[in-house]
Structure 1
Amino acid sequence: MDSSTLLLLSIFTFLAIPALSANPCRPDSCDAALGVEVRFPFRLSNRQPARCGYPGFDLFCNAQNQTIISLPESGEFVVDHIDYTAQALFINDPDLCLPKRILNFTLSGSVFRGAYMREYTFLNCSSDYMDYTGTRYIPLFCLSGRNYTVLAVNSRSLGGGLPAACRSIANVSVPLQWGLSQFYWMDLREDLELVWSEPACWGCENQGGVCGYKGDSGREIGCYRRSRSGLPRSAKYGIIVGVGIPGLVCIIGLICYACGMVRAFNIQRRLNAGLPIAVSDQRPTIRSTSGLDQPTIESYPTTVLGESRRLPEPSEGTCPICLSDYQPKERLRSLPECNHYFHADCIDEWLKLNGTCPLCRNSPESSVATPSSSMSISSSSSSTTLDRH
């Protein structure tokens, strides 16, 4: 059995193993994209079973897919966030006028208490009273009208009493957030922070777990491993190893192949740059636009190179076609028009496709019938051996 088969079997084995100590109640949300995650001790009363939540922690979804909590004596509020580790709940007014709700706010009859309570005094001032632009007074625009302005001021900062143009409406206790409770001028439109003590699930949450009932009855609370959507961690590791390593090997192979191609291209370019450049004279030449037939090619003189590897001018010791040095006993062929030498095999293949000399581009056809008389070696269609000197 090869390694790839073993890897696939391992992945399927991981997928088949159920999650140990899994919580039977899965988290839910009113809005899958932006909604608050609802899990024990909270539950969505219209979506999750009763055993998925603790008494007094029921939530529900409204028509706008907002998460709503109903406090026994204060009414309905939007749940903006739940911090399960700190056991804190952040709420606001669905109608965006939280100061109006604060006037009659109480946590009596609920399982929650205020996180950081601050006392505020609400004032009704005449419309021409403008001395609230500093940090001492907080304008409450959603409670104000054309002829009056409602302000809130921290009760501890009133000092010498009320301004002459204002009268007290109410003294309220506001459950502020920790960061905002340090500022007496905090905007009362921010979320209210509520906390709870029972059930005490903060230790389980800090360990990465989630609370839940241990059985089908009773109030005993247990800590479960948080259920994860998608594949188990072990299966993800198996896929990463099984796909990542072969993928990395393939990438390295492609890089090596690309480097080899670039290296070969550079070598070929250097070789082409070393080819001799022949300057032709001004004599008119007949250029063939197609290759020569085999009998014509074989009629050109051939020579077997001797040990001295000497060639008459203008030839050199390297074949201009394959760029290899001539070796003893190799068969060379010369072209009668220009007397340039080449490996016989190289020039034969060239002339089959091109009817001109690779160096000077002159056509040898015009001089086949008149052998050159200036050659110092005998040349014929049969092979001869070049003089050793």
Structure 2
Amino acid sequence: MFRNFKMVSRVVFGRGSFNQLNDILAEKRKHTDSFMVFLVDDVFENTGLKNRIPLNDPDMLIWVNVDHEPSTAYVDELTRKAGAFSGQLPEGVIGIGGGSTMDLAKAVSLMLTNPGSAADYQGWDLIKNPAVWHVGIPTLSGTGVEVSRTTVLIGPEKKLGINSDHTVFDQIVLDPELISNAPADQRFYTGMDCYIHCVESLKGTYINVFSQSYGEKAFDLCKEVFLEDNPENDDKLMMASYFGGMSIAYSQVGVCHALSYGLSFGLGIHHGIGNCIVFDHLEEFYPQGVREFREMMKKHDIQLPRDFGNIEDEKLEKMINVALILEPLWENALGTDWKSMMTRDKIKALYISILGL
């Protein structure tokens, strides 16, 4: 069977396109007491962006904190807040921020219409009811969250996405001006998520011409952004993220992301930084990609964290468990016989090398 995947149905791109948000939302406001829920990264709470958010009187604004990776518990908390705000469902949920904020917006839009905890739906195609209409507006680019069918969350037992066609945003607003003032290191780590996506996808066994076409363009744009100097780099990075996310829709990531998920679960390291920490040790699997990655780090004067302290055996075993859950990633990277190559001992040896244990 060929995958019949869902894509974002409405996209607006361009500098200043954020100013159209009010008109976009107006089409969904059905009556005078209709309301929207805005989930906005709290780093913008005291900035000019706050005054540009088109809030109507009935709307709800929640400043979300993403100092830590988004968790199922936090999604449940936000869903309770949004659900208690009115006697009816919101007409929409709008996420404004980086990948973690957009993941939270996706998850809350799902949980407003599905019973239980977000942890109940970590996996593939477990969501039964369509989400509330939801919008993604990135202020960082690279994760591909804006076009993906997953919302990645830290749960009680694992780090795993809610993977569903219902997860996909209904509308995205891609305004390169919103990413222009991102801190340099954060911009790099998030952009590298896209670059590593592309390396893993293009080298994977799941690759086909659809994924390859999107992946190659995203890969080339990442190299332009991080190895060259160009006044349109913000625009290019935003499109690299879009194309990279589209490539993964019909393919998969690989070794780096599988190990990074375990790292995030065990040590609370943010996804983009975790990818970079892991990828720097994967010459065995992606030699050319690692060489280029190191060139990019040198050009942008990036120093990766190296000191992770002592890590108990129990925590290390949990990290291995989380990595092993991600079977599609291993199969994409190593083929159907991946279990004979990527044993627990092999994964443990990789973590010991990565963490300098």
Where on the TM-score scale, by shorter chain, does this alignment land: which range?
A: under 0.3
Q: Normalising by structure 1, report the TM-score.
A: 0.18
Q: Normalising by structure 2, report the TM-score.
A: 0.19
Bigger proportion of residues as helix: 2
Bigger proportion of residues as strand: 1
